[in-house]
A = this chain, B = another copy of it.
């Protein structure tokens, strides 16, 4: 990522101004995803006859004779027919569920970000139309019939038979399909600087999860006669103008996990995600998932490219740089209730969120509603997959008093997601990247939920 988030930390008012924050809350109050007052009351009091009328007549009698049923148009008329051919779209009532750019976050829209609306999503699959975007020099719709992937070595000992593949050639090879999360290394980066961005779309929305399909890179390297003993690293290079290049350790490739992927959620990759070819590097930060992938080189040492030597590094308290940190450590976030949402009534709520780990499966998620003083273990939705999002849910009855909601994930290695205090004790506070600390949402007595950091 470029240095824009650093600028932003110094000028948080650029992110969303006061009017923007107010708009988020107002939309929340009117929105479907919020919780209307008097839930259950009307339903519980209704007699069977009244209930039947209400269901048959959802637009309500509104002054008319309540004994006369007025069926809505969709219960009486002919609906829309199937099209001769088509590709469906969401409901017009869901037009508020969008990925969003933040004006002022970056100087250009080509080297920028759009965030996935985590607060509106369910389960673990991110619809491809809502997958977060991170471009370094804009996105392209590359002609797949002209796209090529080259494999070569830094010298002849590393790879015996340099090869060039067309898309057709790649797509007839052995393929696998796997569910994985992808998270930008800069996700939740603004929080390092105590910028409590208002919603989880903006705080955690550089995160998505898909079913990816492609050829294991190991298969291609074996075809090309790569020497996996000498060649302990590969360089991945993209075809767009940013010439994105990243070093990947060969041990990840040897595990068969790294994919040369063309499929995402059942169809071809979307252009914003590197159509027609992207590297999938499970558990590793998004910048290594090189888009518009055109070349893989096998070498015997890390390549120290710009995007790993200068960017995506962490400035440590002693002034040194932490480089080549690629694994996204265990992390979680509550998505409902979350910043910008409004609880309009006391009573039962389903606390729901996402957990993930770049090192394997999520083992457990604990949830606190009192800022970490007490914890309850959440229910994990199945399947729990390695290096994939895991959805958790927990019952909660809100008593109407202020509540501090947190989640804390533990992965199968036993690693526990740290608090800010714990993370800063090691990493200081001058980083932009690799923030995986516990997130806190404050539910105020008004029901408005806001992002806060506990000291």
Interface residues of A (CB under 8 A from B): 32-36, 39-40, 42-44, 46-48, 51-52, 54-56, 58-59, 72, 74-94, 97-101, 103, 108-110, 112-114, 120-131, 133, 135, 137-150, 152, 156, 161-169, 171-179, 211-213, 239-241, 243, 262-263, 265-272, 275-276, 292, 294-295, 348-350, 352, 381-383, 385, 391, 393, 395
Contact indicator B174/A127 (Cβ below 8 Å) = no
Contact indicator B348/A173 (Cβ below 8 Å) = yes
Given contacts A82-B135, A88-B99, A173-B350, 8 further A-B contacts (CB under 8 A): A75-B241, A80-B110, A86-B98, A91-B268, A91-B276, A93-B276, A121-B266, A122-B175
Contact indicator A165/B43 (Cβ below 8 Å) = yes
> CB-CB < 8 A to A393: which residues of B?
174-176
Distance in angstroms between the alpha carbons of A272 and B89 in the assembled complex: 9
Contact indicator A36/B169 (Cβ below 8 Å) = yes
> CB-CB < 8 A to A167: which residues of B?
32
Contact indicator B101/A83 (Cβ below 8 Å) = yes
Contact indicator A148/B385 (Cβ below 8 Å) = no
> CB-CB < 8 A to A90: which residues of B?
87, 128, 267-268, 270
Contact indicator A142/B74 (Cβ below 8 Å) = yes
Contact indicator B79/A135 (Cβ below 8 Å) = yes
Contact indicator A395/B267 (Cβ below 8 Å) = no
Contact indicator A82/B164 (Cβ below 8 Å) = no
One of B75, B98, B381 near A177 (C-beta < 8 A): B381
Instruction: Give the shortest distance, in Å, between A429 (CB) and chain B (any CB).
Output: 28
Contact indicator B74/A267 (Cβ below 8 Å) = no
Distance in angstroms between the alpha carbons of A295 and B58 in the assembled complex: 12
> CB-CB < 8 A to A48: which residues of B?
152, 156, 162
Check A133/B82 contact, CB under 8 A, given A123-B263, A272-B88.
yes
> CB-CB < 8 A to A133: which residues of B?
82
Contact indicator A122/B266 (Cβ below 8 Å) = yes
Q: Across chains A and B, which 7 residue pairs bring their CB atoms closest together, nearest first? A: A79-B138, A81-B109, A123-B177, A55-B150, A122-B263, A122-B213, A85-B98
Q: Nearest chain-B residue to A242 (Cβ)?
A: B79
One of B46, B178, B243, B348 near A172 (C-beta < 8 A): B348
Instruction: Give the shortest distance, in Å, between A142 (CB) and chain B (any CB).
Output: 6
